[in-house]
Structure 1
Amino acid sequence: MAPSTALADALRGLQERAGAHERRIGKNAKASLLYDVKDAADVDRETAHAIGARGFEELCRRDGRFELHAKTLFARSVAEGKHRELETAEELAATSARVEGYLRLLSGYFNERCASETLEYLIRRFKIHVYDVDALIACGLPWHGTAAFVKATQTCQLENSRHFKWLGGVKETGAAPPRDALAVRCSKDKAFFTFCAQSATEMATAKVRDFEAPATTFLFVFHGDWIV
């Protein structure tokens, strides 16, 4: 099968599962990091963008490199653009590339309110909990013991993940995965280990600025413990 055909088939499968999930939980139900299901249904797209823009502005004040994502993800024209269900395979892949670049930079700030506000918008606008599950969970993985990580995992459609289906227990129980469980997974699952090693390299490239040294150290120690 040609690569382009395989990509199109894979992304079409994501779209079909997203539609099935929406029918199962109800058309008006909305995935959310900040609200419960009932309240999230009352938050419209414009409000979600305003929330995301507020968090994004705070991140930009702290690290100017976030500004690279202003026009591609957070501009009003982008917020009002085509739904991902209507994108072609090539458009879906391009959107995922932009989202993944942002999430790599965001990882050092994942446990902060401003980061959650931007993720709330990305979930509503780009359905990253459906189309970019691995990238979203990898963004939060260094913070796996936090409530923010558990909430993100519970929001994700893990059936669309290549590397994190085994976190289904977190989604069901709300209990954070212990560090030992992640280490054991790395030792037994070569593909997962490779994914973590690649993520560590990419996050090192997009590491936070020197004045955010605690976050930088946290990321490097977390990934270093696994890779060494």
Structure 2
Amino acid sequence: MSTSLAAQLQRLAVPATSALYDSRKKPSILFDAQAAAGKDREVIYDIGISGLQELVQLNPAFLQFEDTLFGKTSIDLQRSVENKELNRKLDASIRKFFFHLSPYFMLQPAHKCLEWLIRRYSIHEFNRADFVNLILPYHETLIFVRCVQVLHIAGKNDPFAWLHGVKKSGAPLAKKSIVNHAAGSLGFLRSYGEFLEQAVAELDNRANVLQAMIAFYCTTTIGVLDGADQVGENLVVAIIKTLVKGLSSKALDFTAASYMIVGHLVSKATLAKKTLEKILQRLAVQMHPSLTGNAVMLMVLILQTQHEQIGELSDAVIATIMSAKWLPQALGRVKQEGVSVVTLLRAVLGKCLSKICRQDEDLELCKRFCEGLLLEITLTEDEARVVIQSVLDSYFHKGTTAGDLPSASDDRSSSSEIISLDSDEEDFERKDECVTRWYSDFLKALENQYPAAFDRVVKRTMRGHFSQNKRNALRNVLGFLMQASYSEQDTNVFENLFHYDVDRRVDAVRYLVQNFQNISLK
């Protein structure tokens, strides 16, 4: 009983002790200890109001704090004796003020406001975490040191004991020290990420002014990732929520920073399929025209580094990608800049072609999207062979990967080789006629655009050992290649007279000679 009574008496004594401490020593970021002790609340309040008025001139959003944190009635407020609900509301208001103050932290008016908040609301004691989050982006400045020196740090077990060296030495904090702390205390990255998310949400359309805060989070997180021998699940969990928010943020800098971090993350760690798909969807719905190229390159990197985890793109992911009207053109631009996009192209085409074969509800959308990709992207010969082979394989439901395909040096097919199919086979269970017709047209477009690559793929394919059904499938989908020899549509013969392939030209001439009497000129 006596122990319990002693504890209650100690708790009751805290406000009085704090007030006594406040009367003897006045923490300040503007004045030395002696000067600060000589200034009462009214003087500090006037300084704070002066700072607020100057900030209002820069940004009217600060007006919302005029009657709350800087209200005249706050002069006599004593936080240590107020109830929890009032202190909770004060905490929320102070955090909100910090969000707006961050871009102006290096300005004198901001220091004046902080002087008042330190004196009246004891933010260096009651709001230490938010206060530290506010000042950390400016860790190389002297005002950062002044702010750290007013913090109350109680021994080695204090959460902010890692700042004790700054408090004692008066020297700015090195970036390496911050990265080391973040690597050893993943809760730091999580809490700062949440602070950043809330700041971006609060400032909304003006969130781009949070450049210092965004840059600090970006460089710190990348520093931790780069310094890790192996990125563990705990680190991924600590940052992924903030990254996903950033990927679809209206704040350009937040989105760009998230792209950079995700790029480092997928290069260092293996992520879950669900997480990767969420990232791909966020990339597809990004809203910044200036970042479309970056989004495409990040998609390519994800599919290159995480292909085993992703496998086939899900219906939800491909639906989101197809809804991104900017994507085909962006892919084309990135390709022109020398970036290989074939990994992304094959993944997207593969899923779309699979849906076309199944005649899914979004069949027509898939067709248009595939055709749009073909129009916008110019491939190298090797890339074209990979894509053409993928299209053929999708028709036969064969999951060939890029790694299974031979390189150009392995392709020793001669232009003199002749494609030969038995046209009398009728036992193949055909796909729907509209699907086969679309495939045939799509392959013909690929042939027109990449004739040499197309010829190599088809001839190599024809040298394989196939079942009767597959030979029939080839005959159906590649029927346009046989028209010079087997078709009654004589107009196609004249097209083949000018074909790049000497065999096609010879066949066309032979057909004309043999059927000269039967051809009617129109």
TM-score, scaled to structure 1: 0.82
Distance 1:201 1:21, change over 3 A: same
**Which amino acid in 2 is paired with 1:45?**
R
1:147 counterpart = 2:142 = yes
1:54 counterpart = 2:67 = no
1:164 counterpart = 2:160 = yes
Q: Is the 8 A contact 1:204 1:220 kept in 2?
A: no
Q: Distance in 1 between matches of 2:141 and 2:71?
A: 30
Q: Distance in 2 between matches of 1:33 and 1:39?
A: 11
3-state SS of 1:186 partner: helix
**Which amino acid in 2 is paired with 1:224?**
C
**1:199 aligned partner:** 195
Q: Distance in 2 between matches of 1:208 and 1:113?
A: 25
1:174 counterpart = 2:170 = yes
1:131 counterpart = 2:126 = yes
Give the RMSD, CA atoms, in angstroms: 2.8
Q: Distance in 1 between matches of 2:59 and 2:181?
A: 33
Distance 1:167 1:111, change over 3 A: same
**2:296 aligned partner:** none
Q: Distance in 2 between matches of 1:21 and 1:166?
A: 28
Q: Distance in 2 between matches of 1:162 and 1:169?
A: 13
3-state SS of 2:210 partner: helix
Q: Is the 8 A contact 1:108 1:208 kept in 2?
A: no
Shift of 1:96: 1.5
Distance 1:92 1:164, change over 3 A: same
1:90 counterpart = 2:64 = no
**Deviation string for 1:48-96 (max 9, x for gaps)?**
110000100111111111111111111112233x211211222222211
Distance 1:145 1:133, change over 3 A: same
Shift of 1:198: 1.2
Q: Is the 8 A contact 1:30 1:37 kept in 2?
A: yes
1:105 counterpart = 2:100 = yes
Structure 1, unpaired ranges of 5+: 1-8
Q: Is the 8 A contact 2:28 2:36 kept in 1?
A: yes
Distance 1:182 1:21, change over 3 A: farther
Shift of 1:206: 3.9
Higher RCO structure (Cα 8 Å, ≥6 apart): 1
**Which amino acid in 2 is paired with 1:19?**
T
Q: Is the 8 A contact 2:15 2:81 kept in 1?
A: no
Number of aligned residue pairs:
212
Structure having the higher Rg: 2
Shift of 1:136: 1.0
Q: Is the 8 A contact 2:28 2:115 kept in 1?
A: yes
**1:41 aligned partner:** 37
Identical pairs, percent: 25
Q: Distance in 2 between matches of 1:179 and 1:106?
A: 22
3-state SS of 1:16 partner: helix
Q: Is the 8 A contact 1:133 1:158 kept in 2?
A: no
**1:6 aligned partner:** none
Aligned pair partner of 2:213 in 193, 213, 219: 219
Q: Distance in 2 between matches of 1:101 and 1:217?
A: 17
Q: Distance in 1 between matches of 2:16 and 2:186?
A: 28
Q: Distance in 1 between matches of 2:17 and 2:102?
A: 29
Larger deviation: 143-152 or 99-108? 99-108
Larger deviation: 131-140 or 155-164? 155-164
Q: Distance in 2 between matches of 1:220 and 1:142?
A: 9
Q: Distance in 2 between matches of 1:137 and 1:18?
A: 26
**2:117 aligned partner:** 122
Q: Distance in 2 between matches of 1:18 and 1:133?
A: 21
Q: Is the 8 A contact 2:44 2:115 kept in 1?
A: yes
Structure 2, unpaired ranges of 5+: 1-6, 222-260, 262-522
Q: Distance in 1 between matches of 2:120 and 2:97?
A: 14
3-state SS of 1:74 partner: coil
Q: Distance in 1 between matches of 2:97 and 2:139?
A: 19
**1:3 aligned partner:** none
Shift of 1:22: 5.5
3-state SS of 2:163 partner: helix
Q: Distance in 2 between matches of 1:105 and 1:225?
A: 22
Shift of 1:217: 2.8
Distance 1:18 1:176, change over 3 A: farther
Q: Distance in 1 between matches of 2:203 and 2:143?
A: 20
